[in-house]
Structure 1
Amino acid sequence: MLRSGFFPDFFRERPYLGAAFEKSERRKKLIFLHLEDDNCQQCNDVASQGFSATILKEKYEQNFVSMRANVKTENGKKLAKKFEIKGALISLYIDADGNILNRHDGSTSAGFVYAEQADIALGRKDEKKLSDFEKEYKAGQRSPQFLRDYISKRKEISLPVNELLEQYVGQLRVDSLTNFGIIRFIYANGPTLESRAYKVIQYGAPAGLIDSLYKSIPVEEAVAMNNAIISNTFRVAVEKKDKNLAYQLSSFIHRTYNKEFQKGFLASRRNMLRFLYAIKDTAQYKSEAMALLNFTHMSLTVDSLKKIDAQEMRNQPQIPPAPWRKEPVRIVRNAPSSQFYHMELNEHAWHFYEISNKASDLETALKWSNQSIELSNGLYRQHQQSQYLGNAAYMDTYAHILYKLGRRQEAVEWQTKAVEAQKVIGAAGSFETTLVKMKEGKL
């Protein structure tokens, strides 16, 4: 795995975060902390590519003390706990006092993304800090405006706001529920479906106000509101292992699709699968995964996916013709739906590989994995240079399942294909390591 790139002080682990803070304060720099884990070595390799981008060299050397930690190590666990991080991959931009100025989830090989995130952090370094809000809050400050500002600051860096939102709503007068701006603010911060904040609005706001809110704001904002409610509720449901709340959330998701019943159904079932996998309810997860994928995903063809994408493209809004452009241009706001089907086939095939040793489960996973490869190849292989040998990650999944089924030679053949496909976009190290282990029979 790459560790340096253009970062002379970039490293995997540092014994004490204090050393980074000391260096940050002494050099008047911010801290860049990337948290990773071992669950997706390919994701870590992708991040390494991004960090090595030339565009980052000057910006990060001048403005950041950069560090990298694995959340599976003791040091990584301490860092994750300190900054209220659950899981990885996550990049944090922190000042010398420990305030998070920006947070970026995931990893990317696109260096400009890390450059943009750095600029956001640098733009916030002179603003009121999270620690300032925390001090005032501990001192008893609870005014509505303070709580609004505190909520906005925490949301800015993706920290939970549930408790603060409950306190804010608890201070509102009854007539506040007729205030369009207040309702908009609460919904924008994603009240969870079981929370007092959500229920107060549902049962206390005038009839039709919520519908008017959704109809009057931009579509992107309405979608962001729903996504905030969904993500926050999902997190709470997982933390509490609350199936009733998860089912309630699935119904909410279904309703957000209005008349698009099939899309709403798929989205709600996807949510339940994520929940069941997250709480490790293996039996129900396997049952529902097979019911969904065998009924929908396995019946799809490349042509049927192309038709779905074509229909979605026709439904995209258009920019009217201009004097220099005779034809209207469509605005593509969302990724094509086709990608989710083969991605989910691969994802659930891998999950079955992880959680089951039963031959019947692994055979089912193998079929899903093969379908993901076939659909992906049919959609992209002839049109995307990076995938002219196929999707390396999907072939890696297929090879792992073959290996677990005892079909070692076939597994080696497919893992070899995965290595070659990954070399097209670089950083095939983790796949090559797997290949060696397969050949030695030590995977």
Structure 2
Amino acid sequence: MTRHLLYKCLPYINNYVKYLSMVVFSTIKCAGADSTTINFYNGSYVELIAKAKSDNKAIFIDISTAWCGPCIRMNKEAFQAKSVVDQLNPIFLAYKVDAEKGEGIKIAKQFNVSSYPTLLFLNSSASLMYRVVGYTNISNLLNQITVATNAIKYSEPISKWDDEYSSGNRNPIFLYNYLVKREKLGLLGGEVVDEYIKTQQADSILSKHNLELLSKTVSSSRTKAYDVLINYISKQPIEDKEFYNRSILQLENALLNDRNEAIDKKNDVLFNKYIVRRKELFDLYKEDNKSRQLKVIKFIKMNYYQKTNNLKYYKRFAIPFAEQIMRLNVDSLHKIDSVDFIRFKEEIYLPPDSIRKQTYDAHFYERQHMHSELAAYDLNEIIKTYLQNAKYRNDLEQAIIWSKRVIMLIPDPLYLSINAQLLVKLGILHKAINLQKRAITQAKALGRDTKELERDLKIMRSRKP
């Protein structure tokens, strides 16, 4: 019963994926610019482009995140291989960015990057020529570098096509090929898709090659192209499953683009339009559970108000979710964790000795506290939003209550630090400082980097009582 309730209360699968990625690869050290033999450039992106142009070198950009396990693995393996270094360094000016930090956010958005790792290959004029998405082993990366090098040498850069479109070329053959090229490079179709549809006769819009194009290039639900595609697949029997699945995925991606745009602009009108179309696509999934759909919509709204720092509306969705987690029995979750961990230890004796220890080490922490950690993580996400946006004492006091429950679930140093920061906002400095010291001590005992915790402690001490 408790296990079933837990999964009902914790639908944030993205959080779970991030958590598992961090855990599974926690024993692998991320190789930075100083530790890898690839000559990653240390300047800004603007300086990188200027240097590439002056040195007449192509550009290689590794876009990753701190929590991305495959990214960390590539840093350790492929990026350390002499064969890769010897092939990459002479031709490319290499650059590494975090898609969630600094100018990496802007770069990821510019090149429509949403999966990690993503490797971009640009010519010396910073025009995108080739991309690789996902983990790539050494031999495959060597092949991809060769393909990218040939594309840079012999292919026409997308920038020329952009200029041709901007100059007003609306020839249907040009627009079609332009969209195909953008799709191959992983770039959004944008308004170009609708411009192409305008060139088509009514009876040819639904031709096979046009539908194939739409299933790969639609990038917003506020377009004619989106309407054409969703209306077609909603009225036709599912005969070509590959086309149907690709179309559904493209429509989902278009909705995600609209959702991100609404968040970036903090535009409630755009978000409400997105919600209408989100429900419309849900209705297409005839076998899907209606109550589940409503629950997902609630969490989408909660996420939107969290991202746009609108605590007033965020609370409407966050408080019921937090109350669900608070009703979970801590001891029961710990018991479930213990049972699962025992089962895990029994299961690791099944694989050969060569991979047994590796499996155990990689999944040890994850399987030891999995259910408790999931509950703690999601509740802590709500607490952090309150910490960032709450202005009234009663909101902060409520967050303190939730934070204490998180610490009961998992007494992690980061959770202790969040509690300490809440105490600071409530003006309880002495207790906050002592709790922050405790967090630092525990973090050191776990072998973690304590720089950020110590920085926060210094800030706490600088505040006047």
Considering the TM-score relative to the shorter chain, is it more than 0.5? yes
* Larger Rg belongs to: 2
Residue 208 of structure 1 and its aligned partner are, at CA, apart by: 2.3
Q: Residue 212 of structure 1 corresponds to which residue in structure 2?
A: 238
Q: Residue 123 of structure 1 corresponds to which residue in structure 2?
A: 147
CA contact (8 A) 1:246 1:275 kept: no
Query: RMSD of the alignment, in Å?
Result: 5.0
Alignment of 1:96 onto 2:117: no
CA contact (8 A) 2:112 2:188 kept: no
Residue 98 of structure 1 and its aligned partner are, at CA, apart by: 0.8
Distance 1:370 1:155, change over 3 A: farther
Query: C-alpha distance in 1, partners of 2:71/2:455?
Result: 17
Where 1:271 maps in the other structure, the secondary structure is: helix
Tell me which of 262, 273, 281 is aligned to 1:245: 273
Query: C-alpha distance in 2, partners of 1:219/1:395?
Result: 48
Tell me which of 24, 31, 52 is aligned to 1:21: 52
Query: C-alpha distance in 2, partners of 1:422/1:152?
Result: 53
Tell me which of 378, 384, 392 is aligned to 1:350: 384
Distance 1:414 1:431, change over 3 A: closer
CA contact (8 A) 2:158 2:182 kept: yes
Query: C-alpha distance in 1, partners of 2:97/2:405?
Result: 36
Where 1:173 maps in the other structure, the secondary structure is: coil
Tell me which of 420, 427, 431 is aligned to 2:453: 431
Query: C-alpha distance in 2, partners of 1:426/1:46?
Result: 18
Residue 178 of structure 1 and its aligned partner are, at CA, apart by: 4.0
Query: C-alpha distance in 1, partners of 2:178/2:258?
Result: 20
Map 1:104-143 → 2, pairs under 5 A: 120=144, 123-125=147-149, 126=151, 127-143=155-171
Where 1:175 maps in the other structure, the secondary structure is: coil
Q: What per-residue deviation string (whole Å, max 9, x for no partner) do you get for residues 73-100 of structure 1?
A: 9x95997599478999987543212112
Query: C-alpha distance in 2, partners of 1:117/1:345?
Result: 40
CA contact (8 A) 2:262 2:268 kept: yes
CA contact (8 A) 2:221 2:258 kept: yes
Residue 415 of structure 1 and its aligned partner are, at CA, apart by: 6.2
CA contact (8 A) 1:269 1:292 kept: no
Q: What per-residue deviation string (whole Å, max 9, x for no partner) do you get for residues 19-53 of structure 1?
A: 4213652xx442437699xxxxxx49999977963
Q: How many residues end up aligned between the 2 structures?
A: 387
Q: What per-residue deviation string (whole Å, max 9, x for no partner) do you get for residues 251-295 of structure 1?
A: 24654664333432232122212323344434222333224433x
Moved more, 156-165 or 117-126: 117-126
Alignment of 1:56 onto 2:79: yes
Distance 1:410 1:31, change over 3 A: same
Where 2:204 maps in the other structure, the secondary structure is: helix
Give me the TM-score of the superposition, normalised by structure 1. Answer: 0.66
Unaligned runs of 5+ in 1: 37-42, 311-334, 378-389
CA contact (8 A) 2:33 2:39 kept: no
Alignment of 1:66 onto 2:94: yes
Map 1:27-426 → 2, pairs under 5 A: 28-32=57-61, 43=66, 53=76, 55-57=78-80, 58=82, 59=85, 61-67=89-95, 76=103, 80=107, 83=110, 92-101=120-129, 120=144, 123-125=147-149, 126=151, 127-202=155-230, 205=232, 208-209=235-236, 212=238, 216-217=241-242, 221=246, 224-238=249-263, 239=265, 240-242=267-269, 243-252=271-280, 254-255=282-283, 258-294=287-323, 296-300=324-328, 342-372=376-406, 377=410, 393-408=414-429, 409-410=431-432, 412-414=434-436, 416-417=438-439, 420-421=442-443, 424=446, 426=448
Query: C-alpha distance in 1, partners of 2:111/2:169?
Result: 23
Query: C-alpha distance in 2, partners of 1:117/1:228?
Result: 27
CA contact (8 A) 2:444 2:450 kept: yes
Distance 1:404 1:165, change over 3 A: same
CA contact (8 A) 1:298 1:371 kept: yes
Give me the TM-score of the superposition, normalised by structure 2. Answer: 0.64
Query: C-alpha distance in 1, partners of 2:91/2:211?
Result: 39
Unaligned runs of 5+ in 2: 1-29, 341-365
Query: C-alpha distance in 2, partners of 1:419/1:19?
Result: 45
CA contact (8 A) 1:192 1:232 kept: yes
Where 1:217 maps in the other structure, the secondary structure is: helix
- Larger relative contact order (C-alpha < 8 A, sep ≥ 6)? 2
Q: What per-residue deviation string (whole Å, max 9, x for no partner) do you get for residues 181-208 of structure 1?
A: 53343244344333222223455x4862
Residue 352 of structure 1 and its aligned partner are, at CA, apart by: 1.5
CA contact (8 A) 2:325 2:375 kept: yes
Residue 360 of structure 1 and its aligned partner are, at CA, apart by: 2.0
CA contact (8 A) 2:182 2:188 kept: yes
